[in-house]
Structure 1
Amino acid sequence: MLRYLFTFLVCTLAAQSAEATCAGTDLRSGLTAMQRNELKNSVDATPFASGNHWQAVRGEDVLHLIGTLHLDDPRLKAPFDRLAPLVQSADLLLLEANDRDTTDLQKRLASDPSLILLQGDTLIDLMPAPDWDRLAEAAQARGIPPFMAAKMQPWYLSMTLAIPPCMMADFQSGANGLDAQLNQVANDANVPTRSLEDTQTLFQIFAQEPLETQIDMMKVSLTDAETAENGMTTTLATYFEEQIAEGWHINRILAPQLSQMSKNQADAVFEELEQELLVNRNRAWIPVILDAAAETDGPIVVAFGAAHLMGEFGVLNLLAQEGFTLSRQKF
């Protein structure tokens, strides 16, 4: 399940990029009547459940909030063409991580591989042989030599295995998602950019879990290539339909049948991930956004993974609590 959830996170939350070339099945088509009802109720109860582009206005402060996809996809062209002029005319573009900070992180990873690699025992030493064999097979299917996979931090390997084999080649080619495309527009137009957070934030969140817990979660989340491809297809479909909350809740509802986890285990994992990866980060971003608005005369474009828009503690609702008036815009 964690691997399937990471498919959603890689697309709409974690700063990665790849070209979406898979042709899986949208998992919504197989939902039971009970699951469809649960999905509808969950989405209906989620503030700002839909919409990838919102405007927030408070006095003279104008923000354009854009929920991005961290994957390249041909369907991004039309939204990009509509959004690029907003960036060109903005006074500032805020991103989860701008290109300068991303480059600095890449340099740090090269000099300090302990951020993503195990020190000492490898996964071969830490896992029972049957579990390791399954993991090695999944890594091999994605072009990752097992000896390299054995050295990866479990959380990092889980995110890597969330990418279906059908798109690993494009993923490794470094194709740019919407964030990076907008960053390039800003650079070309001499619009300054800033990062919403330190680029090591995600590393710190995942690394705080005990190694044993990371391994256990990785084992129970292993699924076949078809399931990973279907998960990617579903996530992309909900994104381009601008139904972000639906994409999130589908993961939660289907977790027990797509993994070795019970419903209670799956619910606990979702609650923790939502708190650590969405809620806490959203709250930390609000002062950054407000400070930028106070320092800037013109409009600001704020672009981040679409999962951060929705929910009681989503960026949109948090800004509404700060006195901003929100209105949905054309994406």
Structure 2
Amino acid sequence: MIPVLVALLPQALWASCDGTDLRASLTEAQHAALGTAAEETPFAEGNRWRARRGDRVIDLVGTIHIPDPRLAPVLERLTPDIAAAEHLFLEAVEEDRKALERNLAADTSLLLLQDTSLPELLEEDDWQALAEAARSRGIPPVMAAKMQPWYLSLVLALPGCAMDLLQDGGGLDARIEAVAKAEGVPRSSIESYDTVFRVFNEEPLEEQLDMLRLGVFPEATGADLLVTTVNSYFDEAHSDNWQLSRMMTFAHLDLPEAETTAMLDEMEDKLLTRRNLAWIEVIEAAPEMRLMVAVGAAHLMGESGLLHQLQARGYELERLEF
């Protein structure tokens, strides 16, 4: 699912991506379904919040991980809160990102299949479709053939026209970290840098292959989803973004509804729910009275979302201008 599997990409920078916002073409029934889902989702909207409990203040920011020119005024508004923080939590600070790179270089099993390959695991037609999807994203099929299926699913969730932007590193989280470093604010990762790798590498290959089916959309559909995702992000409409992605996945996969639902729910549990519940314990255990937490925007919403979890622990929540 694109809102979770990949960073949100800025429409303004897609010189070669030709996509449209899918929300404009939804039926009345689909719009109603999005509205119902939003009403049932705690904290369905909002990229910037403040939580208070007694003297403790936590600023929470939903981020995107790659550049967009519209982030400049956002960062300007956030800068006083960054400077005021006694500690900043990010999904991964710079030092841990570099440590992950070293680990990946030292242990190829984290990313690559060791005793088999995807052509051996898949039907020929399925492999050829994946090979073409990889080729369109600048990945030689011979390289894709050895990737762990879960990792290839993350890579192929992006259309080829957007791949270069992943290397920029100028997303909101990186900009927040740069300000914190300049201001001397202590920083740390909110989880171990290899958490996602461990979670998915522990899954049986068959379940990893199911993930591939979730992540690979036709090029045009992928571009449309990315345009929709970034527009939804700047509209701060996280529930709509999440539910629309589920709608598109159901339309894309030729599987029984119950099977697709189970795969999507499992993906949400691994990438959001389990991590959110672990993160809230890290936040609560921090000794500082003034914190900033800057993590992917999808981690803010929902029953397991950080905002709802803080509210359940006695914090008062206030939405701020993003």
Normalising by structure 2, we get a TM-score of 0.94
| 2:120 aligned with 1:156 | no
Q: How many residues align?
A: 320
Matches within 5 A, 1:1-331: 5-6=1-2, 8-11=4-7, 20-21=13-14, 22-171=17-166, 173-219=167-213, 221-292=215-286, 295-297=287-289, 299-331=290-322
**Structure 1 residue 170: deviation in Å?**
2.2
- TM-superposed CA distance for 1:219, in Å, is 4.0
> How many percent of aligned residue pairs carry the same amino acid?
43
- Deviations along 1:157-180, one digit per CA (max 9) or x if unpaired, are 010011111111222x33321111
Task: Quote how far apart the aligned CAs of 1:198 are.
Answer: 0.6
> Could you tell me how far apart the structure 1 residues matched to 2:169 and 2:288 are?
32
Greater displacement, 259-268 / 106-115: 259-268
Q: Does the CA-based 8 Å contact 1:18-1:177 persist in structure 2?
A: no
Q: Summarize the Cα distance change of 1:18–1:226 in structure 2 as closer, same or farther, 3 Å threshold.
A: closer
Quote the Cα distance in structure 2 between the aligned partners of 1:77 and 1:42.
31
Report the 3-state secondary structure (helix = DSSP H, G, I; strand = E; otherwise coil) of the residue aligned with 2:185.
coil
Change beyond 3 A, Cα 1:74–1:17: closer
Q: Which amino acid aligns with 2:305?
A: G
Partners of 1:154 and 1:218 within 8 A in 2: yes
Q: Distance in 2 between matches of 1:220 and 1:182?
A: 31
Maintained 8 Å contact 2:232/2:241: yes
Deviations 1:12-38 (A, max 9, x none): 6xxx99995234111112212221111
Query: Contact conserved, 2:156 with 2:215, CA < 8 A, in 1?
Result: no
The letter for the 2-side match of 1:312 is: E
Give the letter for the 1:317 counterpart: H
Distance 1:204 1:180, change over 3 A: same
* Alpha carbons 1:55, 1:63 under 8 Å: kept: yes
Deviation at 1:270, TM superposition (A): 2.0
Please give the secondary structure, in 1, of the residue aligned with 2:7: helix
Are the equivalent residues in 1 in contact too, given 2:67–2:168 (CA < 8 A)? no
Which one-letter code corresponds to 1:31 in the other structure? L
Q: Does the 8 Å CA contact 2:2/2:157 hold for their aligned counterparts?
A: yes
Q: Secondary structure at the match of 1:169?
A: helix
What is the CA deviation profile of residues 38-58 of structure 1, one whole-angstrom value per residue up to 9, with x for unaligned ones?
111011110100000000001
Contact 1:54–1:64, Cα closer than 8 Å, also in 2: yes
Query: Is the 1:18–1:175 contact (alpha carbons within 8 Å) kept by the matching residues of 2?
Result: no
Distance (Å, rounded) in 2 between the aligned partners of 1:148 and 1:190: 42
Contact 1:92 1:192 in 2 (8 A): yes
How far apart, in 2, do the equivalents of 1:20 and 1:65 lie? 26
Gaps of 5+ in 1: none
For the 8 Å contact 1:19–1:170, the answer to whether it is kept is: no
Moved >6 Å (runs of 4+) = 16-19
* Equivalent position SS for 2:225: helix
C-alpha distance in 1 between matches for 2:192 and 2:11: 23
For 1:52, the aligned partner's letter is: N
Report how far residue 217 of structure 1 moved: 3.7
For residue 6 of structure 2, give the secondary structure of its aligned residue in structure 1. helix
Deviations 1:203-250 (A, max 9, x none): 122222210222244246532100111111111111000011111111
CA distance in structure 1 between the partners assigned to 2:150 and 2:12 by the alignment = 23
CA contact (8 A) 2:87 2:185 kept: yes
The letter for the 2-side match of 1:277 is L
Q: Which amino acid aligns with 1:288?
A: V
Conservation of the 8 A alpha-carbon contact between 2:153 and 2:214: no
For the aligned residue pairs, the C-alpha RMSD in angstroms reads: 1.9
C-alpha contact (below 8 Å) 1:71/1:175 kept by paired residues: yes
